[in-house]
Structure 1
Amino acid sequence: MALIEEFERTGSWLFRWRSYLPFVFLPLIVTAVLRYPVIELHPNLHFIWSIISLGVSLVGLKVRCHTVGHAADGTSGRNTKTQAAEILNTTGFYSIVRHPLYLGNFLIVLGIVLHSAAPWLVVVYLMAFALYYERIMFTEEAFLRRKFGREFTDWSNRTPAFVPRLRQWKSAELPLDIPKVIRAESAAVAVIALTFPALEFAMHEAQQGNVAIETSWYILLGSGILLYIIARVMKRQLRRWLKYERILCEAAK
């Protein structure tokens, strides 16, 4: 099998399971966190570093929310079985980087990894992400090239694959769809809202013998859970509405 075919085949398989990469790192993150040396020695430095690492993850969430919220229907979804793109998005974050959703994923998990303050874990994550997502991006671009031809080629020639070229920013053509963002990104919010407080619990329990953490982490945890519940309710109501609409259409026939 030619390399180009091998890349596309393995990329398709990785595309299907792309959401599970962070879980592979969970044991490594826990190991790094339990050896975290800063809480007892420099608690103020620990708090500052926690805010920085959380900020990195929130930037990644912002990238994903903006991308999904301004993307055309039938694109930038969470489909896992097959590639899907009704049109080629070229504005908003797509004007400065070809894979903004993966950039958002990268930053969200990078913030969690940085929270451990373990340089070795950051290096392992960077290498694993590059190997994992390179094939996925290759497969997606092969699909887009076949479907959109010259339009994709022109866009890809001026737009970097992963490192944004900020001076090329072009405002999104479509307005922000907030309900769509809430429904689509509730899982990402839940990951951030659950993971950071959980790591804080683990750090304090392992090194101080208690789970008393700053109030801000409880606020983050509660806010994330609330938003996730709201998103689940919205998804359920949307499914009911679509089912009702389908019944009405069939009855009209």
Structure 2
Amino acid sequence: MNDTDNAFAEGPPKARKQPKIKDGKQREKRLDRLRLQGFWPLYACFVLLAWTAPLGEEHAWQSAIRFTGLGVTLLGVLMRIWSNGYLLKKEELATAGPYGRTRNPLYVGTWLIGCGLALNTAWPWNVMLLGFYNVMFFSIYKSQIRIEEEMLASIYGEPYAEYCENVPRFFPGLRPWRKGSVSAFSLSRALRNRSWEPILGVAILWGAQMFMWSLGKPMIDGRSFSTAWQAFLGGAWIGI
């Protein structure tokens, strides 16, 4: 039995060292600025371009794309809740649950949320925004993931190297990787890790998008509020 076998046999590897990353704080600050300057304007576009054809009269396939977007967004929220329920920040290496399929399940959840919100916008803006979002996401988070990998490698050493060899960096594998005993999912831990934040954020963005789908755009086009409201009650907010 080698050292990594011993480490996993005793349970999830514990953090025993302080992270050491060259210029880590400065690099993270730059990425934080990029996220703030890039993603929030993009989220604003998701809302402003969320209108449908007049009062919800769109093709069935466009409604199907919108329903797909809602489902993808919900999947992303659930992914983040699931991931946070296993995460013990700066205490132990998470390898259970979604962490056995991808090393960055929280970012996978964030990515799904953004893709879903992009799909909820009006055709053909949804295709263009989806492409732009993916280019921006992978450009920024590729650097973020590298910083975190350096940090985790400095904390956990060989056990983390073995984990990286067996679990994909981003897109989840079909078979989970399991080794040794692992921590169980905890809803209270998920709440402590602020799983409610994406739920609140998505609720606000969904509400803003629904307003634009059925009330904002018709009123901008000169329809009365009462006409737009009747369309909203008739199902225009889901594209029917």
TM-score for the superposition, normalised by structure 2: 0.71
Identity %: 21
Aligned-pair distance for 1:121? 0.8
Distance 1:130 1:189 in 2: 22
Deviations 1:207-239 (A, max 9, x none): 474245369999xxxxxxxxxxxxxxxxxxxxx
Distance 2:187 2:236 in 1: 25
C-alpha change, 1:207 and 1:215, in structure 2 (3 Å) is closer
Distance 1:53 1:19 in 2: 22
Match of 2:4 in 1: none
Task: Name which of 186, 189, 202 aligns with 2:212.
Answer: 202
Task: Name which of 188, 196, 213 aligns with 1:186.
Answer: 196
Distance 1:176 1:65 in 2: 10
Match of 2:84 in 1: 68
Deviations 1:76-123 (A, max 9, x none): xxxxxxxxx222111211111111101111101111011114211111
How many residue pairs align between the two structures?
Answer: 202
Q: Which runs of 5+ in 2 are unaligned?
A: 1-20
Match of 1:176 in 2: 185
Counterpart code for 1:29 = F
Match of 1:137 in 2: 145
- Residue 54 in 1 paired to residue 54 in 2? no
In the TM superposition, what are the counterparts of 1:157-168 in structure 2 within 5 Å? 157-168=165-176
1:26 aligned counterpart, secondary structure: helix
Counterpart code for 1:23 = W
Moved more, 14-23 or 45-54: 14-23
2:175 aligned counterpart, secondary structure: helix
Aligned-pair distance for 1:31? 4.2
Specify which structure has the higher proportion of helix: 1
In the TM superposition, what are the counterparts of 1:29-178 in structure 2 within 5 Å? 29-34=46-51, 36-37=52-53, 40-42=56-58, 44-72=60-88, 75=89, 85-116=90-121, 117=123, 118-170=126-178, 173-178=182-187
C-alpha change, 1:182 and 1:98, in structure 2 (3 Å) is same
- Asked whether the 8 Å contact 1:54–1:112 carries over to 2, the reply is yes
Distance 2:54 2:97 in 1: 39
Q: State the Cα RMSD in Å.
A: 3.1
Aligned-pair distance for 1:26? 2.5
- Residue 27 in 1 paired to residue 35 in 2? no
2:102 aligned counterpart, secondary structure: coil
1:93 aligned counterpart, secondary structure: helix
Deviations 1:33-78 (A, max 9, x none): 24x4485442654543332111101111111111111223xx1xxx
TM-score for the superposition, normalised by structure 1: 0.68
C-alpha change, 1:29 and 1:69, in structure 2 (3 Å) is same
